Structure 1
Amino acid sequence: MAKNLLIVESPAKAKTINKYLGKDFMVLASYGHVRDLIPKEGAVDPEANFAMRYDLIEKNQKHVEAIAKEARKAEAVFLATDPDREGEAISWHIAEILRERGLLEGKPLKRVVFTEITPRAINEAMANPRDIASDLVDAQQARRALDYLVGFNLSPVLWRKVQRGLSAGRVQSPALRMIVEREEEIEAFKAREYWSIVADCLHPSQAFNARLIKLDGKKFEQFTITDGDTAEAARQRIVGAAGGALQVTDVVSKERKRRPAAPFTTSTLQQEAARKLGFTTKRTMQVAQKLYEGVALGGEEGTVGLISYMRTDSVALSQDAVAEIRDVIARDYGIGAVPDQPVTYKSKAKNAQEAHEAVRPTSALRTPAQMASFLEDDARRLYELIWKRAVASQMVPATLNTVSVDLAAGGEHSFRVSGTTVIDPGFLAVYEEGKDTKAEDADDEGRKLPPMKTGDRIPLQQVNANQHFTEPPPRFSEASLVKTLEEYGIGRPSTYASIIATLLFRQYVELESRRFRPTDVGRAVSNFLSGHFSQYVDYDFTAKLEDELDAVSRGEEDWIPLMERFWTPFKEMVDDKMESVDRSQATGARELGTDPKTGKPVSVRLGRYGPYAAIGSTAEDAEDKPKFASLRPGQSMHTISLEDALELFLMPRHLGQDKGEDVSVGIGRFGPFAKRGAVYASLKKEDDPYKVDLARAVFLIEEKEEIARNRIIKEFEGSEIQVLNGRYGPYLSDGKLNGKIPKDREPASLTLEEVIQLMEETGKPMRKGFGKKAAKKAPAKKVAKKAAAKAPAKKAAKKTVKKATKKTVKKAAKKTVAKKAATKSATTAAAKPADKPAASTS
């Protein structure tokens, strides 16, 4: 029997560590967090020093019970969760649960920390255990309490003033504000015209082009020429002055060094994986987690963690890691690629307690080529990125030579061309950092110029004037958003992926060509918070709060005074805004103009089911009811024009007639539909309701009728019982009760006597509603008492089912009714009101 119990978060981590520790240890996983705040009012009590009420997370309850069972038998308990605030908090929660159950009496409980899952790191950690760091736990609890108080108090304001079901987050809201402000900046952007002038030169050994830097004796800048006529006049003056050649007036050669980028932190890993691999932040962290927890390499090595812990702000490397990397560089790239002294990097992290090593391979000797056969494609690509970045960080700088040549066209005009060549690649032989935007001198990189000296005349092929327009700033990508959040000090390494995931899940933003675009709902939320809770979505305020939480984690500040400073003014503002803010202002209503037919105002606003357009006054005391129409996918209430809004009211569209009945297309509560007579059919995703023709509408309607006809597998004369095809397979129904069919029975071969018996045995009333909450589990005694009380009622219910079935039998025996036509049944089924849309434009 194992004497010691060691607890980690994940089963993969447990499996790897178990192999290292041997039979004296039982290693169990908690499967992440084991407790969380109760999901209702009062989970954090500001009146009682922000006391927090926790409950076991239901899905992990069985894992907690397994831990408790082994803890009872163990001589000592070790907590080896991740080396950050979250990991420390998980350890503390487990310790609290075991302590409350009296399972720690007379036995030691220790915390062990390691940043890589290798035999050396595990053994070193076990030899140097410590107590749970209460400062880190306090910082995590304060963060959780702040997030809870913001969410549970700010979200109801959004429900009342903007739209039901919305939420606000302490960190997600400033991130959303960034995306919205960038979108508003793009919309407000006015493009400016400008012209560049380029000379195509024909040097005997190599053609090249040079850009104009001086015109008419003055510096040529971006907006020196802003129209075509001026550009053409300037081009002709230059051609005339040049006389068919440009004269070299200056040649400057400059050698420079480029240093390698630092090893990865969490945020730089997320940014680079997005740029080079196309990974989302979530995908990056999931793959990195697997690399950290362990990969089966076979042979003597077994399962080994391939990278160090992936949640870190630090760019530091351990001495052992640096020594091994330098050996690999010397072996694979030559001794000349190894600098005289190890390269060191300054960390931007403010929190020393959490500043572990950078993300690096646990052993640089395990090259990407050697590991490729043991890794899935995503893991292989990410491991290669991490390995190359870490190795390159300890190599010599690259030596570059930049040559810049000025060429004159007469005495008043001048061009310049530059080229940069690599003299010694240094770290570039292994890795080069990606960039979010193209640098101005990017075209010069790698361009080798022909030999030129002062006084040379270079033949001029032609001079080109090129038109350009300034472009708006780009929308945020995942990489650029993470970079900006980090620059502002908003959030921490472990939070970036969850911030982005929340914004997407809440549909506050959408990814369009891998760039974030805010939805109308997202803009309404952001603008409401910026307008009425500006302090709490302010970048500096959010960053300052993060710094204060870091101070708590370092033991420099107590968490309760921090909470009090935040809570009192925040609560006062929430109470005030709940009463004082007008909803019409909060939903961002926008007047577009006047409907030419009715003379009534046309507006767009955010409603319960999303953005919509209205013709007429939406005020409660308005005499005439306005017309409403939902916006189409891709339309925004912030950019839609009056013409596009009026087009929405062309619904429903009358397409013509088929089989003597009117056919139309409309948009209802459940989306666009085609209609013939009383039959409705939903349009497909690819169908545009504004362009669908008669033939397509009829096809969709008849397709639905065919499905409805095929729904009936078998009917019985004189009985209302039918054998039907359902969403989850064949079943029985008489319109009031649904019955089950045995899996081993062919539905079409059932007899009337068999279906009557099955209905009697399995028949249940048809469900009328969905989404009801499951009742909480009551204590065993109460359950027994309630069951006894309900027994007569249950018997009565069974009797009712039996009675209904017998009635069916009687009905079958007495009546001989002609079988209903399948087409009629199909039409009736197709015309059921389930798909019938709500009125949209009347």
Structure 2
Amino acid sequence: MEIKLNPIYSGICPICGREADAESIIKHNMCTRCFSEKQNVPGGLLLHKYFEEELEDFEEVFEKLVGHKPWGAQKTWAKRLLDRENTVIIAPTGMGKTTLLLVYSIYSAARYGRKILYLTPTRALARQVYSKLHTLASKLRKPLYILIYDSSASKKAREEVLSSMRTGQFDILILTNNFMVKNTEIILSSGIDIVVIDDVDSLLKSDKNVKKLLKLIGYNESIVEKVKEKHRILWRALFSKAMNREDLYEEYIRKLVEIEAELEELTRTIEVKQVVIASATGKMRGIYAKILRDLLRVDISGITVYGRNVTDTFMYIDHTDSTAIYKVIEKLGPGGLILVSPRHPFKDSLVKIAKNIETKLVSSGYRVGYAEPGSIEKLVEGKLDFIIGSSSYYGVSVRGIDAPRTIKYVIFLGTPVFTLDLGTMLASPKILIRAALYLYETTMDEKYRKIALDIRNKVFSLTPGEIKILSMLLRGRLELEDVENAKIKEIYSELREYYNTVSEKIKEIVKAKTVVDMGTITFYYSEKNRKWYAVIPDALTYIQASGRTSRLYLGRMTHGFSLVVEYKVFENLVKSLDLRLGFYTNTKLFKPIEAIDLNKEARLIEETREKLEKGGIKYRNILVIVESPTKAKTIARFFGKPVRRRIGSLNVYEIPFIKNEEIIHLNVIATRGHIYDLTTDPNVANYGIDITEYDIMPRYETIKKCRICGYQFTYGTQCPRCGSKTYVDSAEVVNALRKLAGEANEVYIATDPDIEGEKIAYDVYLAIKGFNNNVWRIELHEITAKEFINALTKRRSIDYKLVEAEIYRRVLDRLIGFSLSHNLWRKYGKNWLGAGRVQTPVLGWIIERYKKYLENKCRKIVYRLTSYPGIHVSTCIPVADKELYNELLSATKAELILKEKRDELVKPKPPYTTDELLSDASKLGLPASKTMKIAQELFELGLITYHRTSNHYVSSTGISIATKYLEAKGWSSLARPSHWGEHGAHEAIRPVYPLDPVDLEKAVTEGVLSLPIPLTKLHYRVYGLIFKRFIASQMKPYRILKHVYSVYVGRHHIGDLVLGIRVLEDGFNVVSKPRIYPELENVDTVCSGVEVVFKTIASKVKLYSEGELVHRMKNEKLGRPSTYAKIIDNLIRHGYTIRSKKIGYLIPTKTGIEVYDYLAGNYPDLVSTATTQVMEEYVDRIACGELSAAHAILGVVEVIEKHNLPLSSREAVFSTSS
């Protein structure tokens, strides 16, 4: 019988929680024991089925009350509500949030006898809710007592309501936010079980309100203070980590663990209420936002625009004549909101336009009112045709109106904006950098570029809190003597000077022009006030207000229309609003009014309010699983500002979007890397791999990570390194994935597109098997919205061949690494020694190069030509020739004699592969591991394509990015698009946007590109390497005139020097900027003084840099792009090599040489380069299905047994002790 590979996973059975083999999980969704005994233990899978039954019950009640079943999004939210989870529903206006909250309130009160507090932002909305609840509840047999406090009611009626509140004589209580804040103590005595907050933003706009809400939910002051302390410690820990203070970091982590344990104890003894929150936009900042998020385990901030069926248009004007605007109103008819921008620089003129429109409407027989609660009700009832109000975020005409039939379009008189004093705006160090760069681009004065660079260098290492202090000092909101931090004081004194310099110049330019555009920021000088302002579009208010026109009605979204009327001089406000909305929608929204068919718009507005849509809105809830939290945030942010939901210690990012007229409710979660690894249980033979006659069964356990020292382990209940019993277990990840998979319609596993990513995907698939039957694998080769959407259409099943290849590779590393390492322990009695199948031959290369380095030692002298300080020459003198060395060291003159003139065509290199990037980054002094970490982050941020690649291929998308960039820079004539070969598994490493490092920094500073983690100098540095190399690869070669000089120092010829003289024909040189010396074009002989720059003992043979070593690994086919950096790090960690201090060259240690000689001499068939190459080839053959992984593993075991190497840690320990 054929031997097969069948891994065993500890604790994976969803019925009994015991171990199960992969084959049983795939076939039966449970272990063989549960399947054979037909177990009915209430494990996770059965609890999931019970929960589905309650959902069906709720749907029946919903249909009875509303007349139809909940649509997709409502069903998704209902699952969380019924699970008694604190739930935040951030969705556009009109998506059925309120209807769901009403039904859930009635269901909870009628079915379980729970008391509901229902909070609304306004009295008008409170009365609407009261009326709707009464209508819906009347359809139930059981009567409910629904109570509302209305401040406009009689004194007697109000007192009766207060009395009922105090005694808890109600089922559902409806209050305004304002009443709740003022009367928290009365409400606390009423026995509330659930708090429903409809339209949360106005409640959360002050810390005072949030404190009251926390108290109402059940959290006392000591808990709140403890959470505050937790955040203070967390910041200190993160800062210590950034400053490489591992001692402080470990101390703060221990404190953090203690505080979290205390918090858990405090919260266990109190009863808290379920909190249900709904809003179209979540807007909350500050420490209390963090406290509320921590305690509710869900984030309130978020913004989405999916499902929104609105035509967004703009009109530019240059006067106060309202004729053109009124023509639009005449075409669309009654049902309009006319909103004046309250902070607009030309507000007075806009108010006059609004008055003109009002006069014309009234004279035409229309009924017009101003925005106030009474008018809103009249509009809803159809007693008014138009409302004039202001586009204020908390205004009554922007929030809380649900009138799908009567509100049809909105006219914005002026773009909704924030207006700040120019000085306040520039007090932000980020904006100050942006302004300095703007001045450099405008004036071409190098001074401003240096200011920008210096500010960036100074604030790079500061925490957000420290940056805020700097900003407050610059704004004059804080006195310098009140600041104790010496570093902040020092930085502030220099920053103040820059702030004044930049402010004065910006003011000078703005005053001369009145309006100046700096990206998405508009500067304005008011002659009337003699003040300078910064004006920024208010995207959230625009979304809220325009969303009033598009609501869920008759089974579909009603069609709405929006017109932004703006003065021509402020056209940048509309463009910037479109850019900022593009961050949420991933597309341009606004069209000029001239391009719109208003008759068609009027028809769509009416049709969507009259005809019932058959089939309703299409909807899917999908779960996307990735490895990295950064990648999860980046993907979710493609479609808006996601809601963050906490399940245990894991974050889930939730955001819906539209694709092919279907709403896709996206949930993204990160596994935080592998969730399973081979066990280190000493009782399992072969280092965690069971081998029988028929099966090879690698045994996997969930990965545990020590919270104190960060060490990862699989076996045991305490950290093997530091002994701590405080760790994070990825079993928690498994439970969270199962819960989310049960909620979703489909699951997409988007781990990295390589064999390691495939193995993680396989483990995830096994963990959630049975909780969802629609599980797919997708690949993302770049983290962009386009790639993500495309990947969803190219879904596939798990590739078991790739999984087997990764299992073989991991088992290979375990068997060879552990057996050789334990043999070293046995021989030397040192249990920190280690060996690996790839790292050992690589160590041999380092030793070989080191020996050649020693054999070729010399004395090196580097000179600078005093007549041409940019030119350096050097020579290397044999160590034994002291006379020549002393003569050259004392030389004072050099002569360069022209030997040859060359007209050279310089061709661009292809874009980077992994090894090439590591090689070039090492020349900047970056270790391979650091470069890979930065590249991983750039990939996960969606700024570059996948960074683990051995291909130079560039896709058509990549070519279009280069073309756009070159067009924008005026270099289209220098473009030469190239794919650089055939399509491989991955593309080359390239940028995702046509943004060079400077453009990238501008986009990040202005908020056009929102990234989940801040970019450091090193991020920009590595990104710059990748960008420059890629853009150059898509450009023409350049021709350059070069001179070859023979170099003489004193009377000795020390070699030749090649210098670029003049670019004859432009190409990629405009990007690479080669150094040229045009002053030497007609110079045949250069006579110059020389000075010694430095002298040192060197060698004619260089030691290996990390980059060169990686390059050899690729050429020799040892290791993979994903493992190059790890191999070098392992050699350093074991003490076999060290990095030289200045340049980072790799030098073998005495221990490294001794261990290598022993291993290479005794086990060449396990550690030689040739053997390792064969093993790497086996990985590829298994991945292609040409070789059986099980047979390959057996072959390795046979070699280990042949050498009598230990095959268990017990065996090694016993041998060492004896």
Scaled by the length of structure 2, the TM-score of the pair is 0.38
SS of the equivalent of 2:764 reads helix
Matched to 2:1028, the amino acid is: K
90 and 230 in structure 1: CA distance in 2 versus 1, 3 angstrom threshold: closer
Partner of 1:380: 1020
Q: Does 1:343 align with 2:1010?
A: no
Work out the CA distance in 2 between the residues paired with 1:425 and 1:287: 33
Work out the CA distance in 2 between the residues paired with 1:12 and 1:207: 43
Partner of 2:622: 4
Work out the CA distance in 1 between the residues paired with 2:1101 and 2:1047: 33
Structure 1 window deviating more from structure 2 (540-549 vs 134-143): it is 540-549
Q: Is the CA contact 2:861–2:874 (under 8 Å) kept in the aligned structure 1?
A: no
Work out the CA distance in 2 between the residues paired with 1:201 and 1:24: 68
571 and 346 in structure 1: CA distance in 2 versus 1, 3 angstrom threshold: farther
Q: Please list, as runs of the form range in 1=range in 2, the aligned pairs for 1:150-549 lying within 5 A after superposition.
A: 150-165=816-831, 166-187=833-854, 189=855, 191=857, 252-276=900-924, 278-294=925-941, 305-339=942-976, 342-346=977-981, 355-365=985-995, 367-371=999-1003, 373=1005, 375-377=1014-1016, 378-404=1018-1044, 419-423=1059-1063, 424-431=1065-1072, 446=1077, 449=1080, 451=1082, 471=1099, 473-513=1101-1141, 514-549=1144-1179
Work out the CA distance in 2 between the residues paired with 1:208 and 1:56: 59
Partner of 1:94: 764
Q: Does 1:34 align with 2:675?
A: yes
Q: Is the CA contact 2:823–2:1206 (under 8 Å) kept in the aligned structure 1?
A: no
Partner of 1:601: none
RMSD between aligned alpha carbons?
Answer: 4.5
SS of the equivalent of 2:624 reads strand
SS of the equivalent of 1:356 reads coil
62 and 416 in structure 1: CA distance in 2 versus 1, 3 angstrom threshold: closer
403 and 229 in structure 1: CA distance in 2 versus 1, 3 angstrom threshold: closer
558 and 68 in structure 1: CA distance in 2 versus 1, 3 angstrom threshold: same
Work out the CA distance in 1 between the residues paired with 2:932 and 2:1086: 56
Structure 1 runs not aligned, ≥5 long: 213-220, 233-244, 295-304, 434-443, 579-606, 609-842
Percent identity reads 28
SS of the equivalent of 1:164 reads coil
71 and 468 in structure 1: CA distance in 2 versus 1, 3 angstrom threshold: closer
Deviation digits for residues 406-458 of structure 1 (CA, Å, limit 9, x no counterpart)? 899xxxx999775432414522322379xxxxxxxxxx9747645378xxxx7
Work out the CA distance in 2 between the residues paired with 1:306 and 1:158: 44
Q: Does 1:69 align with 2:739?
A: yes
Q: Is the CA contact 2:895–2:1088 (under 8 Å) kept in the aligned structure 1?
A: no
201 and 369 in structure 1: CA distance in 2 versus 1, 3 angstrom threshold: closer
Q: Which of residues 1195, 1207, 1211 in structure 2 aligns to 1:565? A: 1195
Higher relative contact order (CA 8 A, sep 6+): 1
SS of the equivalent of 2:943 reads coil
- Number of positions where the alignment pairs a residue of Structure 1 with one of Structure 2: 520
Work out the CA distance in 2 between the residues paired with 1:62 and 1:180: 45
Q: Is the CA contact 1:368–1:387 (under 8 Å) kept in the aligned structure 2?
A: no
Post-superposition offset of 1:38: 0.8
Q: Is the CA contact 2:702–2:731 (under 8 Å) kept in the aligned structure 1?
A: yes
Deviation digits for residues 320-373 of structure 1 (CA, Å, limit 9, x no counterpart)? 21022123113315233212xx224348xxxx86x2111111112463343463
Matched to 1:482, the amino acid is: V
SS of the equivalent of 1:7 reads strand
Partner of 2:690: 45
Scaled by the length of structure 1, the TM-score of the pair is 0.54
Structure 2 runs not aligned, ≥5 long: 1-74, 77-620, 640-654, 657-663, 705-728, 888-893, 1209-1215
Q: Does 1:55 align with 2:705?
A: no
SS of the equivalent of 2:1103 reads coil
Deviation digits for residues 766-802 of structure 1 (CA, Å, limit 9, x no counterpart)? xxxxxxxxxxxxxxxxxxxxxxxxxxxxxxxxxxxxx
Work out the CA distance in 2 between the residues paired with 1:164 and 1:554: 40
Partner of 1:144: 810
Matched to 1:172, the amino acid is: Q
Post-superposition offset of 1:82: 1.1
Work out the CA distance in 2 between the residues paired with 1:120 and 1:526: 49
273 and 26 in structure 1: CA distance in 2 versus 1, 3 angstrom threshold: same
Q: Which of residues 786, 789, 794 in structure 2 aligns to 1:128? A: 794
Post-superposition offset of 1:400: 1.6
Matched to 2:828, the amino acid is: V
Matched to 1:81, the amino acid is: T
468 and 262 in structure 1: CA distance in 2 versus 1, 3 angstrom threshold: same
Q: Is the CA contact 1:510–1:519 (under 8 Å) kept in the aligned structure 2?
A: yes
Post-superposition offset of 1:207: 14
Post-superposition offset of 1:176: 2.1
Q: Is the CA contact 1:530–1:537 (under 8 Å) kept in the aligned structure 2?
A: yes
Partner of 1:623: none
Matched to 1:90, the amino acid is: I
Q: Is the CA contact 2:1044–2:1056 (under 8 Å) kept in the aligned structure 1?
A: yes
Deviation digits for residues 280-328 of structure 1 (CA, Å, limit 9, x no counterpart)? 222222222222223xxxxxxxxxx111122211211110210221231
Post-superposition offset of 1:538: 1.6
Matched to 1:288, the amino acid is: A
SS of the equivalent of 1:24 reads strand
Partner of 1:768: none
Q: Is the CA contact 1:264–1:389 (under 8 Å) kept in the aligned structure 2?
A: yes
401 and 152 in structure 1: CA distance in 2 versus 1, 3 angstrom threshold: same
362 and 573 in structure 1: CA distance in 2 versus 1, 3 angstrom threshold: same
387 and 418 in structure 1: CA distance in 2 versus 1, 3 angstrom threshold: closer
Q: Is the CA contact 1:11–1:31 (under 8 Å) kept in the aligned structure 2?
A: yes
Work out the CA distance in 1 between the residues paired with 2:1174 and 2:815: 18
Work out the CA distance in 1 between the residues paired with 2:702 and 2:926: 33
Partner of 1:110: 776
Post-superposition offset of 1:125: 0.6
Post-superposition offset of 1:577: 13
Q: Is the CA contact 1:255–1:400 (under 8 Å) kept in the aligned structure 2?
A: yes
Post-superposition offset of 1:273: 2.2
Deviation digits for residues 118-175 of structure 1 (CA, Å, limit 9, x no counterpart)? 2111111111211111121111111001001112221221011123212211112222
Q: Greater helix share, 1 or 2?
A: 2
Q: Is the CA contact 1:5–1:74 (under 8 Å) kept in the aligned structure 2?
A: yes
425 and 15 in structure 1: CA distance in 2 versus 1, 3 angstrom threshold: same
Q: Is the CA contact 2:819–2:1205 (under 8 Å) kept in the aligned structure 1?
A: no
